[in-house]
Structure 1
Amino acid sequence: MSTKMKAIVAAASAAAMALTLGACGSGNGNGGAAGAKTAVSYSDVEAALKSDKDINLTMWAWSYDTMKPSVEAFEKKYPHIKVDFVSTGASADHYTKVQNAIKAKKGLPDIIQLEYDALPQYAVQGALVNLAGDGIDENIGKLYNDAAWKNVHVGDGLYGIPQDQAPVAAWYRTDILKQYGIEIPTTWDEYEQAGIKLHKADPTKYLGFIDTSGNRQFIQMLHAADATPWTVDGLKDITLNLTNDKSKKVAEFTQRLIDEGVLAAVPSGTDEFNRAFADGKYASWIDGSWRGGLFATGNPELKGKLAAALPPSWGSSADDVQVGEAGGSLLSVTTTADTKEKQAAALAFINWVNSDPESIDAFQTVGGSLFCAAKSFQSDSKYAEVDDAYFGQKVNEIYFKAAEKINTNWSILPYNNQMDSDFKDIVVPQMKEGGDISSALAKFQDKLKTYGTEQGFNVTAK
């Protein structure tokens, strides 16, 4: 989620959360308290596809071009279910439109695209249908990657169907590593030693960077280290623990890497950063799997000079690696779909689009390759064995392995976007040589507790 979009979602949803948290229960319309579980069962979903009764659905998404062929294929196969599919433009515009419709209590479509880190906020506001009807988890959940399926749950509720995900991977400048006699590291200890060697040989180069434009990279590291900086129980109860031993270890280690010249503390996404990366100032990039697809278009000059790998392990060997995530989206059914028939048809549609092999094939041929959350994608050898001309590797094999290694012991804060804003205000200024990231985490935790309490959550800090 972009910085601009995070600010929009955080500002728009804060007031709504404060109003709705105190009244969690069943809700109807385009807002209100968290909704009761749908009466739709898995057998109803199957029946919706076989029915001859016309159903009209509306859907908003920013990934219009990517999804349009799949939507058309569904309508051709099931002509009685019509989908009025509307592009909401850029993702920031999408969230603005969704929040405005919720606030106005009118105009929200039956189906909306969301990102995993935005989902809890909308579930709390009561804008989404809890899809956890009889047989849904058992029969639909098995179609998706375990981590992705966990991501569409908030508390005991199911609030969407996973579409894509972004397991963290690493990309290394093999030409630079070869020049300095450095092997691709498999653990963070190896990464540190490799980075020290590189920076000592050429002080203008760093093995990598810690991104100061937001929380994403550092939170990925906490996720992969199984640090569990917070847990969320249900819709209202949050426990913060950013001062636990594992979180401290990640903070202190990151600070050491900055002080040693292994990592440069810089914001990504700027022209200056992009030029520096292309020029070889940073010899690696650790991010979500989607990043790999951007190199071919953004850095054609690096063709054959980048190699994909699993990210470094916090354990003693590559076998111990756990992986964080950096994005991913889903499709949710909103409370606008206020009849059992509509909810069944909507659920049948979003599940088909996100898991049926025909739809998966369409995703791989439009606008690049979408890293689908469906097992029908991640277990298919025809995708794993594709030789990527840019990398000269079967990179999907690496991304699929990373997806298997995602640490599922993870919760998403229901005010994740406010968390990012506070992170930039409190933690980022300490991401510098001689900084104190560990102490900043304690102050960061205090701010998160204060904000959460003000919004009506029950927040405990350890």
Structure 2
Amino acid sequence: MTTPHTRARSTRIPSRSVALATVLGASMLALAACTPGASTAEEPDSKYGFPIVEQEADAPITVWVDASRQPAADAFKKAYPEIPITVETYDGGADGSGSFQTKVQAFNQAGSGWPDVVFSTQNNDAAWASQGDEPFAAPLNKGYFEQSFLDGFTEGALAPLTVDDTVYGLRNDLAPTVTWYDQSLMDEFGYTVPTTWEEYQELGEKVADEHPGYIIGGVGDAFAEEIYFWGAKAPVNTVVDANTLSSDTSDPYAQDMAAIIDDLLDAGVLAQENVFSPEFVQKYTGKVLMLPGPVWYSGALFSNPDSLNAKPGTIAAGLPLAWEGEDAVAGNVGGGTWFISQHSANLEAAKKFLEFVTSDERYQVDMASGLPAYQAAGDKWLAKQAEAGFFAGDFAENVSTASTQVWDGWGYPRFSQEAVWAKTVTPKLAAGESLVDLLPEWEKAIENEAQVNGYAIK
């Protein structure tokens, strides 16, 4: 095993454990800030803040969803059979594929074909979808949606989608990272759930020696950096201002986290398979001792009969891990966003759809796998989980706490950090290269992508 990395505490940036109300507060403007020459000015001839195309009350709306949101569209059809709707599935921009943006650019060139509503797994899509000579995303708080409805979202939930005080999308669910663990295995092995990254590393080394084949985490997904480096307060994705980005992988937080991951990979206790792959399910069902990750793992992995299918009462969601002597912070993995097109010919139907899929209990409480971003639905969803008793421990309390701890030093620029990580880091980790050694290459790749997207590098 490698020797635990020693952090130069005196050179660290201050610890920040912040409420969701201020998640990326100062950088929200920057994350989706205008590109040079772009305009977000309200059109004088529009009551909603954008030029409205000719409306047709009976026009069907076309809705794009990923496979996981198909039930939301089906529930809407059942609730409102009188509203014509065509549902098309696509990848949802998963892992930073950029498919949403690519398709919209093609429609812009053709001058037609835009869907009315789009679900995206990428919160940073607001950064480009609200901009340009022909922006896709409709402003939602300039008279289109009632302010009382928008105020119903958990405080801060719409911040990643807000540009110059204009809201361009609605969050589907909140996605703070928590420390998932199997309570039954912890009891069987006589282990204590770690509360710090240092204890996490020590536990991993012990598991490697005493229970080889079991894992305490995974780095095989494009969003692994949002779990580990965001949760470690590593300033590698900082939006400084409207057109400036900073990435510093030499920072002690980044160096420390990379060293821990290298150690645990060497020990064989971090999975390198994608958690949604058949290989992961086949190899690790019953062998996941711990798995730091987003709250939506609750339904996507642990209670999913097609995935890990854990036994009731075995899996618990612990609080985010902290550095020793510091406050814990959470990372954030997606959460998903609904957009309405400025080109929609049936804005009323599109509005009704978004109201339903973000706030209606028939979907968000009865069917959704993750914590709804709409406050009332979120409270009832947590109460439902507690009543069901599927998860062990203080599930509702810990998830609620984690949602207030998302670190504000990680931004949402005009490009996908997931795509950069997946291209630059994931394959080389799989090939056995050291993450510590890869950090400068990752930083350079981030800076190159930022510059392509119009950012200056600080």
Give the aligned partner of residue 171 of structure 2: 162
* Range with bigger deviation, 181-190 or 384-393: 384-393
Give the aligned partner of residue 438 of structure 1: 436
Give the aligned partner of residue 118 of structure 1: 125
For normalisation by structure 1, the TM-score amounts to: 0.73
- Once the two structures are superposed, residues 212-240 of structure 1 have per-residue CA deviations (whole angstroms, 9 ceiling, x without a partner) of 342x1222222222323223366643333
Pair 1:268 & 2:275 matched:
yes
Deviation of the 1:106 alpha carbon: 0.9
Q: CA–CA distance in 2 between the matches of 1:392 and 1:104?
A: 53
Pair 1:66 & 2:72 matched:
yes
Identify the match of residue 206 of structure 2 among 190, 194, 197. 197
Give the aligned partner of residue 237 of structure 1: 244
Query: Match of 1:178, as an amino acid?
Result: D
Deviation of the 1:268 alpha carbon: 3.4
Pair 1:360 & 2:361 matched:
yes
Pair 1:36 & 2:34 matched:
no
Q: Secondary structure at the match of 2:387?
A: coil
Q: How does 1:312-391 map to 2 (within 5 A)?
A: 312-316=320-324, 320-337=327-344, 345=348, 349=352, 352-353=355-356, 356=359, 359-366=360-367, 368-380=368-380, 383=383, 386-391=386-391
Q: Secondary structure at the match of 2:291?
A: strand
Give the aligned partner of residue 17 of structure 1: none
| Equivalent residues of 1:117, 1:412 under 8 A apart | yes
Q: Secondary structure at the match of 1:143?
A: coil
Q: CA–CA distance in 2 between the matches of 1:61 and 1:176?
A: 41
Give 1 or 2: higher helix fraction: 1
Q: CA–CA distance in 2 between the matches of 1:122 and 1:231?
A: 20
Matched-pair identity in %:
17
Deviation of the 1:354 alpha carbon: 5.1
Q: CA–CA distance in 2 between the matches of 1:234 and 1:110?
A: 31
Pair 229,217 (structure 1): closer, same or farther in 2 beyond 3 Å: same
Q: Secondary structure at the match of 2:336?
A: strand
Unaligned runs of 5+ in 2: 1-33, 50-55, 94-98
Pair 138,145 (structure 1): closer, same or farther in 2 beyond 3 Å: same
- Once the two structures are superposed, residues 326-345 of structure 1 have per-residue CA deviations (whole angstroms, 9 ceiling, x without a partner) of 2222222222148xxx76x4
Deviation of the 1:277 alpha carbon: 0.9
Q: Secondary structure at the match of 2:171?
A: strand
Q: CA–CA distance in 2 between the matches of 1:278 and 1:89?
A: 29
| Equivalent residues of 1:195, 1:206 under 8 A apart | no
Pair 248,57 (structure 1): closer, same or farther in 2 beyond 3 Å: farther
Q: Secondary structure at the match of 1:238?
A: strand
Give the aligned partner of residue 30 of structure 1: none
Query: Match of 1:127, as an amino acid?
Result: F
Pair 351,454 (structure 1): closer, same or farther in 2 beyond 3 Å: closer
Give the aligned partner of residue 310 of structure 1: 318
Give the aligned partner of residue 456 of structure 2: 459
Q: CA–CA distance in 1 between the matches of 2:418 and 2:262?
A: 19
- Once the two structures are superposed, residues 361-408 of structure 1 have per-residue CA deviations (whole angstroms, 9 ceiling, x without a partner) of 433324x54521011123348725633354356744443332233234
Query: Match of 1:288, as an amino acid?
Result: P
Pair 287,240 (structure 1): closer, same or farther in 2 beyond 3 Å: same
| Equivalent residues of 2:208, 2:269 under 8 A apart | yes
| Equivalent residues of 2:183, 2:315 under 8 A apart | yes
Give the aligned partner of residue 227 of structure 1: 234
Give the aligned partner of residue 412 of structure 2: 412
Give the aligned partner of residue 6 of structure 1: none
Query: Match of 1:445, as an amino acid?
Result: E
* Range with bigger deviation, 289-298 or 96-105: 96-105
| Equivalent residues of 2:316, 2:392 under 8 A apart | no
Identify the match of residue 24 of structure 1 among 30, 38, 41. 38
Give the aligned partner of residue 181 of structure 2: 172
| Equivalent residues of 2:181, 2:291 under 8 A apart | yes
- Once the two structures are superposed, residues 132-185 of structure 1 have per-residue CA deviations (whole angstroms, 9 ceiling, x without a partner) of 538989755532224421121246542112222322233323333223210222
| Equivalent residues of 1:388, 1:394 under 8 A apart | no
Pair 1:247 & 2:254 matched:
yes
For normalisation by structure 2, the TM-score amounts to: 0.74
Deviation of the 1:303 alpha carbon: 0.6
Query: Match of 2:190, as an amino acid?
Result: G
| Equivalent residues of 1:38, 1:132 under 8 A apart | no
Pair 139,237 (structure 1): closer, same or farther in 2 beyond 3 Å: farther
Q: CA–CA distance in 1 between the matches of 2:193 and 2:424?
A: 33
Q: How does 1:143-158 map to 2 (within 5 A)?
A: 143-154=152-163, 157-158=166-167
Give the aligned partner of residue 96 of structure 2: none
Q: CA–CA distance in 2 between the matches of 1:222 and 1:390?
A: 30
Deviation of the 1:264 alpha carbon: 4.5
Q: CA–CA distance in 2 between the matches of 1:37 and 1:250?
A: 44
Pair 270,109 (structure 1): closer, same or farther in 2 beyond 3 Å: closer
- Once the two structures are superposed, residues 422-454 of structure 1 have per-residue CA deviations (whole angstroms, 9 ceiling, x without a partner) of 323432355379743234222222222223323
| Equivalent residues of 1:187, 1:314 under 8 A apart | yes
The number of equivalent residue pairs is 405
| Equivalent residues of 1:167, 1:323 under 8 A apart | yes
| Equivalent residues of 2:236, 2:443 under 8 A apart | no
| Equivalent residues of 1:124, 1:414 under 8 A apart | no
